[in-house]
Amino acid sequence: MYPIDMQIAPAQSPRDRLSVALRIFYLIPHIIVLYLYQLAAGVVMLVHWFVIVFTGKRNESMQDFTARYLSYLASVTAYGSLLHDQFPPFGRVDPGGPISVSVPGAGGDANRLTVALRLFIVIPAGIISAVLSFAAQFVAIVSWFQIVFTGQQSEGMRDFIARVIRYSIQVQGYSALLTDEYPWPSATGFSG
């Protein structure tokens, strides 16, 4: 199993049709908070890159901050992609909520070479993630119509969106230096 994983609570039925219909408007404050959080996380990741390259160790507080950002990103993305109807708390993940992200701690040595070259190494996974995310956006739009008109979401569409988000979070976690294990699509059930 990949060190960074995202668990999603089982689908609820029937879905909240009004909440889904207005989801884009509900997301606006989260997008603003996420943008600010992303700026701070970017600074922390840059400093953490230098720490790892020069010491060969991950800093626990920087690892934790980046992991919290990644968890919040996963929560907002899952909500925006219609995987659940529970409005996420701002800047954090509800421990009893529908989304949980597990990230390895800062213990142990980090691979200094792969961290130094991470920006280049992650490119293939980033391309795969971008293509899958584009497909998931299309599926989410179709799913939006299905939920608004029927109150139900196809299990296949929900599963596909969940796998894409899980893989995207793994790629982002890898690029954010949270692990040295490369994020292969097969880790989330995509086979190649």
Three-state secondary structure call for residue 100 = strand
Report yes or no: 15 and 147 within 8 Å, Cβ to Cβ. yes
- Residue 30 and residue 25: Cα distance in Å, rounded? 10
Residues facing 7 on adjacent strands: 100
The alpha helices in 6-154, defined as continuous H runs, are 17-21, 23-55, 60-80, 112-116, 118-121, 123-150
Domain membership of residue 103 as a residue range: 5-188
Residue 97 sits at φ, ψ, to 5 deg, of -80, 180
State the Cα angle at 54 between 50 and 60, rounded to 5°.
65
| Amino acid identity, position 85 | D
Which residues 6+ apart lie within 8 Å of 176 measured at CB? 41, 45, 66, 69, 70
Show pLDDT as tens, one digit a residue, over the chain (192 residues).
889 989 999 888 889 999 999 999 999 999 999 999 999 999 999 999 999 999 999 999 999 999 999 999 999 999 999 999 999 999 888 888 899 999 988 777 899 999 999 999 999 999 999 999 999 999 999 999 999 999 999 999 999 999 999 999 999 999 999 999 999 888 666 654
Count of structural domains within the chain: 1
